Amino acid sequence: MRLTRAGEYAVRCVLYLASKGAGTIGNRKQIAAEMDIPEQFLGKIAQQLARAGFLEIMQGARGGLKLLVAPENLTLLDVVEAVIGEIFLNDCVIRPESCQRSQACSVHLVWEKARSQLRDTLREATFASLQNKDSCVIPLDRER
């Protein structure tokens, strides 16, 4: 029960773009290098984030990734769910037909509560609030 690599890389990619300010075009090679994202992964993630309307993929020699949403309006939940799909923790919460017990099951209620709390916490974290520590986007070993 944990975030996929794709989810982690998507968060890093948006962290990078958000740190550069809205409208800046981030160079793909640079994002991959600075944020430790395998390049082939970054391409796929960028497509998912573009499909969700969070960034634009600019083609050409001076192309790259451009954040379309202001960091204060973009949350960790938005970015994570754009890549891994809606968080639900247990199948029964989102697909009641997956368990015949769902309707009357008290465990189901616990999973619903847990899911709701998790999504609220990720929703509260905007990429503007995550910029408070600049070091977040610089690998520690490169600071030394």
H or E element in which residue 65 lies:
strand 64-67
Stretch that binds its own copies, among 21-29, 41-49, 52-60, 127-135 (CB under 8 A): 127-135
The residue with tokens 């970015």 is 79
Binding mask 83-122 for its own copies (x = CB under 8 A): -x--xxxxx-------xxx-xxxxx--xx-xx--xx--xx
- 121 exposed, middle or buried (CB, 10 Å; 0-12, 13-18, 19+)? exposed
Query: By CB under 8 A, what part of segment 58-77 binds its own copies?
Result: 76
Nearest approach, Cβ of 104 to its own copies (angstroms)? 4
Q: Could you give phi then psi for residue 136, rounded to 5 degrees?
A: -55, -30
- Rounded Cα distance between 99 and 92, Å, is 6
Q: Least Å distance between CB 67 and its own copies?
A: 16
How many residues interact with its own copies (rule CB under 8 A)? 45
